[in-house]
Amino acid sequence: MSGIEGKVVAITGASSGIGEATALLLAGRGAKLVLGARRSDRLEALADRIVKGGGAAVAGRLDVKRRGDLRDFVSLACERFGKLDVLVSNAGIGPISPLDDLRVEEWEEMVDINIKGVLYGIAAALPVFRQQGFGHFVTTGSTAAHRTVPSQSVYSATKFAVRALTEGLRQEAGEKLRVTIVSPGFVRTDFVDTVTNPEVRAQLAASRDKFAIAPEAIARAIAFAIEQPADVDVGEIIVRPTAQA
């Protein structure tokens, strides 16, 4: 038996990219999945695929900008499977652009999803983990939390904030809860599609096509953190393309 088999894992942003890859990998290793995202059709298709493959999965529409949605999402895991072992806070967006573009609505969306979405997940899961006496927070960060470059100021700021949050949570978690942040570099996902500045989008697309890695690479890192014994807490994993500066 692996350290993943039988664990109940809830994943936000599960309908594509890193979230979808993580769900499929963990399901293959015996986890029970609770899948959340805004795109219900893709979620249902993913859950159905896992179940038809012999796994266990349930899907629930989730908007991480809504605190109540996160509360219901955690409740769904407990009601369906009797517990929650891991919350993977993976939902995030990155419509990057130069500050001079003044795309304020996009800045607000990044703050709401990338920061407040993680906070709402903590608020929903922490009491459950405390009551259970076990639990693991896994959060998708970014190498942008380690290095800021032009056009990524706001996105990078949100990821710096998430990194600070997870480190603070780790220090407060105590001896029974685990906290991990997995920080990807450039990954082949639909990240580029959210960028509305044409020049920046073209630059990102070129870099993606040149050296971005598959989302399965990040899924394996998440699985590594989850499968460790209960007395081992993997604080942070950075996974980037070999060719990324």
175 domain-assigned: yes
Q: 181, 234 in Cβ contact below 8 A?
A: no
Q: What range defines the domain where residue 46 resides?
A: 8-239
pLDDT in tens, 220-241: 999 999 999 999 999 999 999 9
137, with CB counted inside 10 A (0-12, 13-18, 19+), is buried
244 domain-assigned: no
pLDDT in tens, 53-112: 999 999 999 999 999 999 999 999 999 999 999 999 999 999 999 999 999 999 999 999
245 domain-assigned: no
Total structural domains in the chain?
1
pLDDT in tens, 183-233: 999 999 988 888 999 999 999 999 999 999 999 999 999 999 999 999 999
- Residue 193's Cβ-side half-sphere holds a number of Cα atoms within 13 Å equal to 6
* pLDDT(16) > 60: yes
163 domain-assigned: yes
224 domain-assigned: yes
Question: Where residue 172 sits, what CATH number does that domain have?
Answer: 3.40.50.720
**Catalytic: which of 129, 137, 155, 191?**
155
pLDDT in tens, 116-169: 999 999 999 999 999 999 999 999 999 999 999 999 999 999 999 999 999 999
Separation between Cα atoms, residue 232 and residue 225, nearest integer Å = 9
Residue 120 annotated as catalytic: no
3 domain-assigned: no
* pLDDT(177) > 60: yes
1 domain-assigned: no
